[in-house]
Amino acid sequence: GAGVSQSPSNKVTEKGKDVELRCDPISGHTALYWYRQRLGQGLEFLIYFQGNSAPDKSGLPSDRFSAERTGESVSTLTIQRTQQEDSAVYLCASSGGGTGGHEQYFGPGTRLTVT
C-alpha cells in the first residue's frame, strides 16, 4: 500500500517568510510524528499526534513552530518567520499507535532551505 508522503520535497524560502509542510500518513495509522534532521545530525522530535488526544508539543523549538492534524489524516507543520537555523530536513512518520511498540514509518522528508 501507499507509504507516508510529504510535500513539498524541497522548499527554498527567504528568511522571515512563513512555510507550510504537509504530511499524509499511512491510512489507518492513528499516530503521527514530526521530526527535524539537521545536516549531519540525528533526528530531533518535534510533535506527536495520537488519535483525538491533545498533541504532545514538547519538542517544538519555539512558538514560531506549530502543527495541526485533521482527525487521523493529513498533518501540516507551519514555521512562521523562518530563520536560517530552521534549515533542515523535516521528517514525518506514522504508526499504529496504541499501547506502543509499533514501528514508525517515515516519509521521504521535506528539505527546507532558508536563505
Partner 1 sequence: AQSVAQPEDQVNVAEGNPLTVKCTYSVSGNPYLFWYVQYPNRGLQFLLKYITGDNLVKGSYGFEAEFNKSQTSFHLKKPSALVSDSALYFCAVGTNTGFQKLVFGTGTRLLVSP
Residues that bind partner 1 (CB under 8 A): 4, 31, 33, 35, 41-43, 45, 48, 50, 56, 59, 91, 93, 95, 97, 99-109
Determine the Cα–Cα distance for residues 20 and 29; give it in Å rounded to an integer.
22
Say if CB 105 and CB 93 are below 8 A apart: yes
Question: What is the DSSP pairing of strand 10-13 with strand 110-114?
Answer: parallel
In terms of CB distance, is 79 or 92 closer to partner 1? 92
In terms of CB distance, is 16 or 98 closer to partner 1? 98
In terms of CB distance, is 28 or 101 closer to partner 1? 101
What does the radius of gyration of the chain's CA atoms come to, in whole angstroms? 13
**How many other CB atoms sit within 10 Å of the CB of residue 13?**
16
CA dihedral 54, 45, 8, 100 (to 10 degrees): -60
Shortest distance, position 105 Cβ to partner 1, whole Å: 7
Shortest distance, position 72 Cβ to partner 1, whole Å: 15
In terms of CB distance, is 14 or 101 closer to partner 1? 101
